[in-house]
Structure 1
Amino acid sequence: MTGGGDLRGVFEFRKADDGNDGFGGVIPGAGPVTTIFTTSGRIDVRSGDEMVLNNLPRGVSTVEIIVRQQPATKAVNTTWSIREKRSGRSYNVKMMKPDQKGAFITFTAEGGTP
């Protein structure tokens, strides 16, 4: 059970802006990454794994980030990333799950991916 006193971490919720293709067209999600909002939360490391990409091993960790549910969190989807402000680590959002009371929302995210 998560309580308000457990939310000691600071997290930036980030989204890639639309980019320009150089010919006047717009490419969704190809622009620079911008921080949309910052909130406090808690991070729990769930599992770690190793994948091989181009014959190089890469570590992948699955985490759960728990924050208070607020109007800004309703816009978050799997194209967003979450950055832990103190350590600088970034995680790609994979799944969102609100709790039954509607007070908190849990983001399952993956870090260490290229």
Structure 2
Amino acid sequence: MRFEREGIDTLTADGELLLTLLASFAQEESHSLSQNVTWAIRRRFAKGGTNSFWIYGYTWTGCGFTVNEDEADIVRLLFSNYLEGISPEKTATWLNANGYHSRSGGKFYGSGSCDAC
């Protein structure tokens, strides 16, 4: 393979070496960026912050969160069922059968996914 802009020809030993080095640099930069983002998120959590303004069971008021009691009841049920050993799939089935919906009106799923949560 020949990269015209970079002047790299992978058929030569020099070209192969250069391509390997560039790929290594790119991989290390990606890894470093990932570590920095992870560090920032953990630091925000340690200070009591969040990574989102959309947390089920709470409503963002512009300067903080308040408990959304309708959603909080569902969150309490989820934790209670978890502690009782009830599977997420059974809990989701029960919530859907009893007319509960995600914040956007979608269904609940045991996998953690939902219809446009």
Structure ranking higher in strand proportion:
1
Report which of the two has the higher share of helix. Answer: 2
TM-score scaled to structure 2, two decimals?
0.19
Greater RCO structure (CA 8 Å; 6+ sep): 1
TM-score when scaled to structure 1? 0.20
Structure 1 or 2, whichever has the larger Rg, is 2
